[in-house]
Structure formats: C-alpha cells, structure tokens
Structure 1
Amino acid sequence: MSPTLAGHQAGPGADELERRLGDPWDPANPLGFDRVLAADEREEMFGDGERALDGYGLNAEFVPAELGGRLTGMDRMVDVLRAVYRRDPCLGLGYGTSSFIAAVNVWTAGDAVQQLTVADLLLTNRKIACAYHELAHGNDMAGTELAARPGDDRLLLRGRKEVVTNIERADALVLFARTDPGPGSRSHSLFFLEKDTLPAGGYRYLPRFRSAGMRGVQLGGMEFRDCPVGPSSLLGPAGHGLETAVRAFQLTRTALPAMTTGLLDTGLRVTLRHVLNRRLYGRPVAELPQVRSVLVNAFADLLMCEAMARAGLRALHLLPEETSVYAPAVKFGLAQPLLEAMQQLAGVLGAEFYLRDGPHAIFQKLVRDIKPVAFAHIARAVCQATILPQLPLLARRSWRDGEPAPDALFRPGAALPPLAFERLRVSAGGRDHFAPSLAAGLTALGSPTDPQVREVARLAAGFAAELQALRAACAELNPRRLSFPAGVDANELPARYVRVLMATACFELWRHHHTTGHGFLAEPAWALAVLTRLAATGGPAPVLPPEVEGRMFAELLDRHEAGRSFGLADGSRTTAG
C-alpha cells in the first residue's frame, strides 16, 4: 500500500464533520450559510467549504477500506455526506459525489492498477469526472455517438460529452464511448483516462453550462478530435461498458437520493425556526393546526425516505444480486415525497421562501437544488422502466412464500459484509427477499395489545395484502411486452411495488426498534404516521390522529432545541439548531 493509501480507515464520522463545519447560521462562521449563499450568487463552488472538506478527507469515504479508504458501509458513507448536503448541496455533488459516481465504475470493473490509481487520486483530494451522457441522447446511453475507433496501435476518440460535472476541474475521467458501430448491448465500452496523459491537441473543453439549481456546480463538456488512448485505458472488457455502468448505477441510484434527504432536513429546520419566531393572531404561527400538520407531514416523509434509503443501502452489502430492482426503487420512491414536502414547507414560509437575503435565504437555494433528485444522473421514468420488466419474474419466484431478508437489512448498527462489486447483477432474476419481509415481520410481531401498535400492524397488513394483489397482477404478464412505455395499468405497477417496499422498510425498522430498543423510533407514532401517508398516496393528505400528530410535533421540537438531525440518525448533532 502506498503512503497515500494509509491512515484513513479509522477516520472521523458525520458528527466530527458537523463540528468542523460549525453553526451554519452564525454570520461569523466562514463555513456558514451566508458564505454558501454568496458563492451561489456568484455561481461558484464554495472555496472555503472545499478546503474544509480537503482537511476532513471527504474523498476517503468513497474508497474501499482495502484500498486505504473509509468505505466500509454505504449507510455510513451517506450519513457523512448528508452533513454536507444539509449545508450546501453544491459541495455535496460538486466536491464529492461526482467523483463517487466515477469511482464506482472502477471498483466494479477496473483492474488492480486502475483501482490503486483512483484510490490515490481520491485520497490526495483530487477529482474524477464521469462522462456518460450526451445532450442529443439524454438517458439513452445506447445511442452514444462518441466513438473510440482503432488507430495504429491505439484507439482514437472522436465526438463530445456535455453537461458533465467537474470535467474541466478533474484530474481523470471515466468515459463511456462506442467501440462498435453495430447495434446491441456490446457496442460500448468504458475508459479510465488520466487527463495528463492526453495530448493537448486531442481535445478541447466546451463552454460551461449554467443551471438554475446547483448553480455552483461546474457543468461542462469535452470534444475529442482523434484523441489517442492506449488499450490499457479500457475499464473492464471491451464491449462491456453498458453492463458495467448498469451495475455501478445500483450504488449511485441508491446513494444520491439518500443524501438528498439532507436538503429536506435543513428545509424543515428553516421553516420550524420561522414559525416559532413569527406571531399571527396573537400567538406563534407554530401553534396553528394547519402549520403543525405540514411540519409533521414533512417530518414523517423525511423518516419514510431515510428508512427506504437505509434498507436500499444495506441491501448493496447483504443482497447485491437483487439491487438492480431495489436501487431504482429508492430513486423512484424518494424523489416525489422529497419534492412535495419542500413545496409544502414553501407554502408555510410564504413570501419568505424565495427571498435571497435574510435569515431564511438558504431555503430558496434548497428549493432549486433539490429539483435534480427527480432527473439527475438517471430519470424517474427510467427507474420505472427498469423495474417494470422484472415484476413478472419477481411475482412468480418470490412473492408467494418468499424467504425474508436477513434482519441486518433493517436493524440499525448490525454488522455488514464488505461490498462485493462482482456480485452486482444487471437483473435480479426474480430474487426478492425485501418485500416478503413484511409478512414475516407481522408474524414476528404477534398479536399486540397496545391500540397504536395494533393500528401499525393493521396498516402494514394492508401492504402485505397489496403485495399479493401485485403478485396476481404481475405473474401472468409477458416481460417481452413490458418495454417502456407500456399501458397505463402496467406503468402503475412499479409505483405500487415501490410503495410496498417503502412500507416494508418503515415497518421493519420500527419493529426492530420496538422489540429491542427504546426512544422515539421504538414508539408507534412515527410508524403510524408514515404508513398512513403511504396508504393514502394518490389521494388527499390524510389527517393523522391528534395523539400521533402531537407526539410527532413534540419530537420535532425536542430535536430542534437540541440541534439534532430530524432524520433517522436522531442522535447525531447537526450544529443547526
């Protein structure tokens, strides 16, 4: 192991990073919201923030422990990145996760030399860009035109990539290119290129693309002009680029939406600060029933999204052969509630939500920065189209009397095996241990006597019945006739399946806390709130029982006053109280 690959494994975590970043509302803090907003107004990356993340060694979170990094658990990595996303999503993407998106392709298919090179780059605070897409083809990677054609003893790159994060600032890039003019899944390959090995005349940078959200993120492009690259730059076998990317997507489709919950955490905190300090009709706005309901619903949605994300992240370790269906489910399932919750909070803030100055100015930035959760990297519609063809086989093989997932999928803090990138598959092949866990969990819960616990069980049983209804609807479908877009009824099936998974994640997380732990997450109130909201998806927002709403609001206030996260990591400090 080289010197740069040593000494990172036992590094700090989210709490230490929050301590280093300090109180974001403190105007004297050089890493606070005032400085974040000033950089956003200039459409620049937040330089002091980047230097602070250099000092923390954030890139080590993306490097597997065996290569000298701190990537031992995907859920731990996301907890750390949420601390960044709560502060400045541009730092989260522009400093960190853009390199993560590139690196997972190398961990998935790279040889030992490539992996050591990428680890060394990241552990010395350098960046890697990932150039998948082209504007003319969007999410249709099979339509990629940038080509790598045979030269004398090298390949010649010709074409362009656009809207790539950090393509000019990065020291290296992972590049998706056509290596065969014919159609089919073996026509494209991935390359790992260190930019200092490319001849100066072989490429040029394209003008920067400006964006409404994530304004500090540097989006650009490169045009290649018969740029020579050696055969050793191939990442994995020639013709396997699409397969490698699809497998690597399973990590990024899960992790990036999971990090985005940090924006809702801060948005909820901004709104709560506002309603606690403002008076209307002679009393604090926070005492108005409609306002309390919006805040509690946003809190429930945050817990719901993080429960689903945590299960998906842990599945990458425990059920990697199945995550081709869980990863798009996380992306599909989180995007809409996160966006809708922020819009509801904006309604509570009123005119305050779009002000670019003052104590709540960070909110308008978050509203803009959260939008890409629905389309960036891969769109929700693509996730839907990825899930749909897999449903018939899942229904026939796993949903009747399927074996449940190991308890560690839902049990916080349970040990995880190392990531096994070689076990990731393009298709789950009908394997699903996640969804059948709901019925097994209900059996384990038994016959509760507490009225609220009985209501939790009743709601969960409704989702167990929904899985069996889905089994009947999907078992007879022909997967070959389910290419996107399918019929309206068929296109609704992935959404129904995702809701079952989300209900399972929430119920099982609550059950493990309820039977073995204590504290708020062991109480039935939050499980009642999230399951009630999931059951009402597609209709008007449900009215929660007064005792449930009251308990949720009291917890929200307690965490706010203590400066603790509003998410599942309720013991961690955000320095944002």
Structure 2
Amino acid sequence: MIRDAATQAARLDAARSLVEDILIPAEARMDAEDRMPEHARAALRAHGLFGISIPEAQGGLGLTMEEEAGLMLVLGRTAPAYRAVYALNSGGAAQILLRAGTDVQKDRWLPGLACGDLVACFCLSEAEAGSDAASLQTTALRAGDGWRIAGRKRWVTNAPEAGMLMVMARSGGPGARGISAFAIDPATPGIEVLPAQAKMGMRGAQVADIVFHDVVVPGGALVGAEGEGLKLALAGLDKVRLHLAALSAGLMERLIDEGRRHALARRQFGKPLAEQPAIGALLADSVAEALAARCMALELARARDDGTLRPADAAAAKLFATEALGRVADRVLQVHGGEGYMVGSAVERLYRDVRLLRILDGTSEIQRMVVARGLMG
C-alpha cells in the first residue's frame, strides 16, 4: 500500500540520487577497506534508511511493505553491503521490540536505532545452529532478578560496531520453545567481540563472532515472554524475504545496465558486442528474470500490507529472486569476459557480493522446504 504517491515518488527520486551520486562511487573504496566510508554512512542516516520499518512515533520512516519494496528496488542498484548495515536496525532487532518489547525497552532502543546513532546486531547463528536455529546452545540461566548468558554467536553482522545486541539464548528445555530473546548493551562486562572475519564479498558489512562469558543482564533485558524468542524472530521472516526479493531485483537491474554498457562499448569481429546474437540472448534472459522478480516483490508486498500474504509465497519470492540474481550475475560476467573477471571491476565485485543472498536469512534449500510445505497444506 502506497499511502501518498507524491511522497513516495519524491522518496524514490532522492534514493536514486543517493545511489548514483554517493553510494556507487564509494563501492570500490568500501570493498577495498572492508568498511563503509563515513560520508556514505552519514548519507544513509540523512535519508532515514536506518529506520525504514520503525514507526514515525519512534523516529523512523514507518514505511508500508509496498513502499519499502519500491525503495529496495532503487537501493538494490548499489552494493548490498550498504543494506546489510542499515537494514538490521529496522529489521530483526527492531521488529522484535515492536512486537513484544515493553514501553521502557522501546523508548531505550528504538529512537537510537531509527536515526542510526546505534547499530543493531542480531545474534542467532552458532557453530551448530544455522538453518537449524532451534538447536542453538547459548544459555540464559536465572541469576537473581536477572539472567546469566553464556555461549558464542557466529557470523554476527555489524558486531565490531554494535550499539545494541538482540540475543537468542536457551532459557528453558530443548527445541524452539526453550529460546528467549534479550536486548543487551554490548558494553556489558563479559561480552567479547572477536576480530572481524574476512569474507568473499559483502565487504563493508563487517562480521564477527561474539562470546558471552557468563554475562549478567537485568531482568528487563528479556523481550517478550520467556520461551518466545525464536517465535518472535521467525514472525518477521516474511518481511525479510520480500525485502531481499526486491533488493535482488534491483541488483539484477544494475548488473544488466553494466552488461548493456559493456556490450555497446566493446567491439569484437568488427562490430559492437551488442550486435552478437549470443550476447543479446544472455541479456534478454536476464531482463526477463529481473522483471519477474520485480513484479513478484511488488505484488507480494501489497499482499503483506493487506494481510493476504502466505508464508510460502514470501519464501518463493526470496527463492526465485536470489537464485535468478545468481544467474544474472553469471551471465553479465560472461558478457564482460576477462575484463569482468579482473579484481576491481564492478561486475567482479557484485558477483562476489550477491552469492551470499542465497544463504542469508534462510538458504534456498530452506525456502524450498517452506514452499513445499505450503503446497502440501
């Protein structure tokens, strides 16, 4: 649902300028340094992107899903590492607070997350708990009026600059119903953020493990009821999956533009590559898949806004869009040939970046399971 067409059009125009004037020119530097340049971060904050899904009452933009999907189609035309940094603020951490947080918790965390003064981390994955999140082993034991948390979380995006941690820990018995959610200040004694880990792509969105050495937190750190943590986390997956579907469609469009420009400029056999039928076929297939992903993301975003979205449909959108994005990246690199394979080219960088999206927030295999279960009732 788009509440005000003129406001949304102005928002998208501003986002296009942000992408073209600031974010794309900073991509190579961000990749080389594995850190988002401060001027780019400041621009993201100025556009309110850290608070996309946080209500206006808490300082965010409070966008509908359709408005958000439209914005992701534009912002997808630049390195996805940008999105990894800002989206967590209004994603998992904020959404859990909005669903189940107390007024005290919301007042403490949401305004800082919305404006980007705080950077959120979502601490779920562990060495033996990735797709099988219900098997996590980090513990949360009662300690007087509070909790004592012990364990190690892996692959935590934004960990080196965390200002707030949303931590999933086992407070009860085995399985999903024994897991609770905790909003924790990373300055709490006993929290150790390990050095950032090197990654294939998505450089600029730093990832590190976090170790909890018998960390004592107050009772007010528990978000929602005890044992509801994983339920709260999974409740937002439909939104995340549509978010990534729209982002992937935008990335496909960026890659197609890179391929088109190269095909028009590069000459082989006495004429532009664009006149070679094989090159045209690679780009035509890519255009068809990008258009399908765009339409799917927007239609299902509207369905989420009006309450008719089925979980299997959101999973199907994420599955199709991220898998198609991988195919488009491969085709566009093929169009570029050796030039696209060289370190430093935009296509080489994006080729590395987009591979993670088939793993992030539920692998393609998990999406297929969700779709199959929906089909079978």
Distance in 2, matches of 1:316 and 1:39, equals 34
Could you say if the C-alpha distance between residues 16 and 34 of structure 1 is closer, same or farther in structure 2, counting changes exceeding 3 Å?
A: closer
SS of match in other structure, 1:257: helix
Q: Does the CA contact (< 8 Å) of 1:135 and 1:163 recur in 2? A: no
Query: 1:532: which partner in 2?
Result: none
Query: 1:542: which partner in 2?
Result: none
Could you say if the C-alpha distance between residues 327 and 66 of structure 1 is closer, same or farther in structure 2, counting changes exceeding 3 Å?
A: farther
Query: 2:3: which partner in 1?
Result: none
Query: 1:536: which partner in 2?
Result: none
Query: 2:370: which partner in 1?
Result: 386
Distance in 2, matches of 1:212 and 1:119, equals 32
Gaps in structure 1 of 5+ consecutive residues: 1-9, 24-30, 394-577
Could you say if the C-alpha distance between residues 128 and 37 of structure 1 is closer, same or farther in structure 2, counting changes exceeding 3 Å?
A: same
> Once the 2 structures are TM-superposed, how far is the Cα of residue 158 of structure 1 from its aligned partner?
0.7
The residue type equivalent to 1:381 in the other structure is E
Alignment of 1:361-380 (within 5 A): 361-380=345-364
Greater fraction strand: 2
Quick one: higher RCO (CA 8 Å, sep 6+), 1 or 2?
A: 2
1:56 to 2:44 alignment:
no
Distance in 1, matches of 2:88 and 2:192, equals 24
Alignment of 1:501-512 (within 5 A): none
Query: 1:150: which partner in 2?
Result: 142
Residue by residue over 1:147-199, the C-alpha shift from the partner in whole angstroms, topping out at 9 and shown as x without a partner, is 1001122110011111100123121121111001x223311111122334x2x
The residue type equivalent to 1:18 in the other structure is R
Query: 2:98: which partner in 1?
Result: 107
Larger Rg: 1
SS of match in other structure, 1:45: coil
1:330 to 2:317 alignment:
yes
Distance in 1, matches of 2:79 and 2:320, equals 23
1:350 aligns with one of 316, 331, 337: 337
1:47 to 2:34 alignment:
no
SS of match in other structure, 2:52: helix
> Once the 2 structures are TM-superposed, how far is the Cα of residue 138 of structure 1 from its aligned partner?
1.7
> Once the 2 structures are TM-superposed, how far is the Cα of residue 99 of structure 1 from its aligned partner?
4.7
SS of match in other structure, 1:195: coil
> Once the 2 structures are TM-superposed, how far is the Cα of residue 387 of structure 1 from its aligned partner?
2.9
Distance in 1, matches of 2:242 and 2:307, equals 13
1:168 aligns with one of 160, 175, 194: 160
Q: Does the CA contact (< 8 Å) of 1:99 and 1:130 recur in 2? A: no
SS of match in other structure, 1:308: helix
Q: Does the CA contact (< 8 Å) of 2:81 and 2:205 recur in 1? A: yes
Alignment of 1:294-443 (within 5 A): 294-319=282-307, 322-357=309-344, 361-393=345-377
SS of match in other structure, 2:285: helix
Q: Does the CA contact (< 8 Å) of 1:335 and 1:373 recur in 2? A: yes
Q: Does the CA contact (< 8 Å) of 1:190 and 1:236 recur in 2? A: yes
Moved more, 294-303 or 50-59: 50-59
Query: 1:219: which partner in 2?
Result: 207
Distance in 1, matches of 2:373 and 2:81, equals 35
> Once the 2 structures are TM-superposed, how far is the Cα of residue 59 of structure 1 from its aligned partner?
1.6
Distance in 1, matches of 2:243 and 2:66, equals 8
Q: TM-score, normalised by structure 2?
A: 0.91
Q: Does the CA contact (< 8 Å) of 1:146 and 1:158 recur in 2? A: yes
Could you say if the C-alpha distance between residues 32 and 355 of structure 1 is closer, same or farther in structure 2, counting changes exceeding 3 Å?
A: farther
SS of match in other structure, 2:159: coil
Q: Does the CA contact (< 8 Å) of 1:21 and 1:52 recur in 2? A: no
> Once the 2 structures are TM-superposed, how far is the Cα of residue 292 of structure 1 from its aligned partner?
1.4
Distance in 1, matches of 2:60 and 2:195, equals 34
Q: TM-score, normalised by structure 1?
A: 0.61
Query: 2:4: which partner in 1?
Result: none
1:137 to 2:121 alignment:
no
Count of aligned residue pairs for this structure pair: 369
CA RMSD for the aligned pairs? Answer: 2.0
1:245 to 2:233 alignment:
yes
Could you say if the C-alpha distance between residues 117 and 32 of structure 1 is closer, same or farther in structure 2, counting changes exceeding 3 Å?
A: closer
SS of match in other structure, 1:62: coil
Query: 1:523: which partner in 2?
Result: none
Residue by residue over 1:202-227, the C-alpha shift from the partner in whole angstroms, topping out at 9 and shown as x without a partner, is 22112221100112211012111111
The residue type equivalent to 2:243 in the other structure is A
> Once the 2 structures are TM-superposed, how far is the Cα of residue 278 of structure 1 from its aligned partner?
1.6
Distance in 2, matches of 1:295 and 1:179, equals 52
